[in-house]
Structure 1
Amino acid sequence: MKEDNLQNLEREQFGDNFRWGVSTAAYQIEGAFDADGKGLSIWDVFTNKRGKVKDRHHGQIACDFYNCFQGDINLIKQLNIPDFRFSVSWSRILPEGTGKINQSGIDFYKRVIDFCLESGITPWLTVYHWDLPHVLEQKGGWTNRDVVNWFSDFTSICAQNFGDTVKHWMVMNEPSVFTGAGYFMGIHAPGRRGMGNFAPAIHHTALSIAEGGRILRSNLPDAEIGTTFSCTHIEPYSHSSRDHAAATRADALLNRLFIEPVLGLGYPVNDLPVLRKLEKHIKPGDEAKLAFDFDFIGLQNYTREIVKSSFFTPYIGARLVKAEKRKVPITTMGWEVYPSAIYHILKKFDAYPQIRKIIITENGAAFPDTVEEGSVRDEKRVKYLQDHIAQVLKAKQEGCKVAGYFVWTLTDNFEWAEGYHPRFGLIYVNFETQERIVKDSGKWFRNFLKS
């Protein structure tokens, strides 16, 4: 998209029915980790282990959304943001993972939902955003096939308690990340490693995504039901056949591993042979159970990756060429700033005829924000958002069935293994005082949505 068109970027170009929102996650913002009967999640436990999170940061207080939600929702309203995506803490509702419901947890989310509606903001609920109850992890977590039943019960409870007021649902957030980082690399909760953990976690998660969709559809026939996937635009390091083959394997792992089973296409085994290790976990009838016809698919994109063949990298035979080594613009996360990535991802997933509608459920950037005279001048984030929204518009104008865009994230928050160092928010948070300051990016988004 030409620079002059970028300068004239306006909300009206997307049409009246395009959804605009901001996304959050329970563990990253709520705090109140043991308040009002809440049980421990795997992240409550993981953050207490030395060396797992930078500077031993944790989410025990985070942004204190549990106590400050009205003020934060008021800020969403002030920024003209019509849609708010947030998740439900499993262990806040079911402290033991299953069984007795904690009514205080149900009441909290009802207060959040009701205040959103009173404020003219549409709630979008994510059932699972990485915070498995610790007591279930002690029973094997996502490596235990019983997790499908545990998750089904949790989903049913959410539908029965919030379905009368919440009309937009997402089953899970980024399954490839929480299974890969948590059950293969060990860098996220619960900290497990190896293919012996990763393979069953993949299959049980995939089964749970589809079953969660069926449960929501059965309980809430009029609701809009989706699920979200992390997606990275992949390019080979060179024109060599080896690098192209490596890029294909990386794409199968990072982009196709969960979406294709959901679409009824099965796991991408032909392009990623290591997935044959799933076979011993697949029972008769599972292939049909993996598929579900979602109303929309949520895509979450931040960057692109350049992939090079690597004989010594087990299972995948590929490695990422880090953005720092390529001397390209990067964010605090070390991710390349490459706006065209979101366009390529939209075009890639739009090519699946089984997908009805696409919503960008996360896109944003972390930069080293500082407060100067009461303001946060985050010009890089403003440009990042402008450039990426322009690429979404380009895809839409070319006929892509993209129908929404959600910024990650509302407030600076706990960013998993990186702690509080990366700041993604439209709103700056002083984590010592809980003071909020709307950044220039938040002001730009407010004006864009008002246009």
Structure 2
Amino acid sequence: MDFKRSDFPDDFIFGAATAAYQIEGHKFGGAGSTHWDTFAAGPGNVVRAENGDLACDHYHRYAEDLDLLKDAGMDAYRFSTSWARVMPDGRTVNPEGLDYYDRLVDAMLERDLMPFQTLYHWELPSALADKGGWMNRDTCHHFGDFADVITDRIGDRVASIATINEPWCISFLSHFIGHHAPGLRDLRATARAMHHVNLAHGLATTRLRAKGVNNCGIVINFDDTEPHDDSVGSDTAYASWDAIMNRWFIEAITKGTYPKEALAGLAPHMPENWQDDMAEISQPIDFLGINYYTRRMAAADHDTVWPHIRSEEGPGEKTQMGWEIYPDGLRNVLTRMARDYVDDLPIYVTENGMAWDDKVKDGTVDDAVRLQFVSDHVNATKQAIAQGANVKGFFYWSLLDNYEWAFGYEKRFGMVHVDFDTLKRTPKASYHAFKSAIAR
């Protein structure tokens, strides 16, 4: 890889990320049903109707997986704590779930890995989904209770706490496009979910501040959006898509406002008196996590419903997901956030990675495309720092091949290959190259 640790500030953090439902094995330890379990059981929602019952069995194999992080010389591990494991019905505490995360955090510290916790990475308890999920304001208050319970148990040992992972995916992708659980395609549901996810972040942050937590933030996913061409229609489509995809959440959190281009379609369906929540939503955060994967090109399409947009991948080489490989987009997003929204606030690249159809051959996995991908995106991060963005760390997504939501176990993002029949872990060429690059 064409970078080395010494290219970055002394306090820069290198790590890898995972998410609870995608790796743990949700059938273990008394975890409750989630809306992903029932979504996966519906026709055509998930490849082969696969779910997270077993996943990578990280629940039992976490020591082996943490050893992979330590052996690679990584500084930190970004993990999430499953709401449905800690509180199976969203409200009642499961002691086994708390004990598991207790063991997990202690095991990180034993290996000198900094625990970067995310409270919520999409596993909404089914009992709350039954009551409307993110369309129901009460869910936000139950999420605050979850933040209290898990923080009382492990908050004294984690390095940071992110409230929500990728609110756009939780709300717009899941309630308007219908690609993720709960799989809705409803404008009113979307408007309410997009606001309530923000409110949940605000309420959880209030709970964390009350406990004296001083390193809490949020993780937002961004595309590097561009107009499809230089037409007026594409400019308008770009403004709308950028407002929905990139501006809605960051502007609520940093400015206490929503972009007018998004409100043009969402305002009639927003919860009553939503404006009264904006002060809580926009209270200060201590860091911003940025997830970046690709660039999107926006064009007008007036034959479709609002927002009348056709959003397409750029023209470059594609990953197994069909996403364009565009490292400059990461630099663009990092510098934009620093310039327009967070100034000198610490920023972390909390997810960046690519899927490829990796195969084990003679005991090894040659993932040369990923190796180059990581090198180019880490260098894009370095360029953003040189241009003034206060980027403090880079987490590759993901440590392990895992359950990739609607794509089941078909798309492989890991630096470590997982055989989903035997659960054998095989570090890929990118793992070894990353280890060499970040060696002290």
Rounded Cα–Cα distance in structure 2 between residues aligned with 1:150 and 1:271: 27
The corresponding residue for 1:334 is: 322
Corresponding residue of 1:23: 17
| Matched letter for residue 153 of structure 2 | N
Map residues 44-443 of structure 1 onto 2, 5 A cutoff. Answer: 44-98=37-91, 100-221=92-213, 223-270=214-261, 273-283=264-274, 285-323=276-314, 326=315, 328-355=316-343, 356-443=345-432
Q: Is the 8 A contact 1:234 1:307 kept in 2?
A: yes
- Cα distance in 1 for partners of 2:32, 2:431 equals 34
SS in 2 for 1:307: strand
User: Is the contact made by 1:264 and 1:288 (CA closer than 8 Å) also made in structure 2?
Assistant: no
Give the TM-score normalised by structure 2: 0.97
- Residue ranges of structure 1 left out of the alignment (5+ in a row): 1-5
Query: 2:28, 2:59 within 8 Å by CA — same for their partners in 1?
Result: no
Distance 2:365 2:426 in 1: 8
Q: Where do 4+ consecutive residues of structure 1 move more than 4 Å? A: none
Aligned to 2:152, the other structure's residue is in SS state helix
Residue 158 of structure 1, CA deviation:
1.4
The answer on whether the counterparts of 1:125 and 1:170 sit within 8 Å (CA) in structure 2 is yes
The alpha carbon displacement at 1:335 in A equals 0.2
Structure 1 contact 203–282 (Cα < 8 Å) conserved: no
- Quote the Cα distance in structure 2 between the aligned partners of 1:391 and 1:36: 41
After superposition, the C-alpha distances for 1:123-157 in whole angstroms (9 at most, x for unaligned) are 11100000000000001100011111111101111
Offset at 1:188?
A: 1.1
The corresponding residue for 2:34 is: 41
Go from structure 1 to structure 2 and tell me whether the alpha carbon gap of 1:284 and 1:406 turns closer, same or farther (over 3 Å shift).
Answer: closer
Normalising by structure 1, what TM-score? 0.94
Given that residues 251 and 341 in structure 2 are in contact (C-alpha distance below 8 angstroms), is that contact kept between their aligned partners in structure 1?
no
Instruction: Answer yes or no: is the 8 Å Cα contact 1:26–1:89 preserved in 2.
Output: yes
In 2, distance between residues paired with 1:68 and 1:354?
Answer: 38
1:11 lines up with 2:5 in the alignment? yes
User: Partner letter of residue 205 of structure 2?
Assistant: G
Change (3 A) 1:322 1:122: closer
Q: Is the 8 A contact 1:47 1:56 kept in 2?
A: yes
The alpha-carbon deviation at position 192 of structure 1 amounts to: 2.0
Q: Report the alpha carbon displacement of residue 283 of structure 1 after superposing the two structures with TM.
A: 4.0
Give the 3-state SS of the residue equivalent to 1:360 in structure 2: strand
Query: Does the 8 Å contact 1:269/1:275 carry over to 2?
Result: no
Residue 238 and residue 133 in structure 1: after superposition, are their counterparts in 2 closer, same or farther (change >3 A)? same
8 Å Cα contact 2:248/2:262 also seen in 1: no
Query: Does the 8 A contact of 2:349 with 2:395 survive in 1?
Result: yes
Does the Cα contact within 8 Å between 2:202 and 2:283 map onto a contact in 1?
A: yes
Percent identical: 35
Against the structure 1 CA distance between its residues 438 and 271, is the aligned structure 2 distance closer, same or farther, given a 3 Å change threshold?
same
* Distance in 2 between residues matched to 1:65 and 1:196, nearest whole Å: 37
Q: Which amino acid aligns with 2:21?
A: Y
**Secondary structure of 1:43's partner?**
helix
Gap change, CA 1:283 and 1:386, over 3 Å in 2: closer
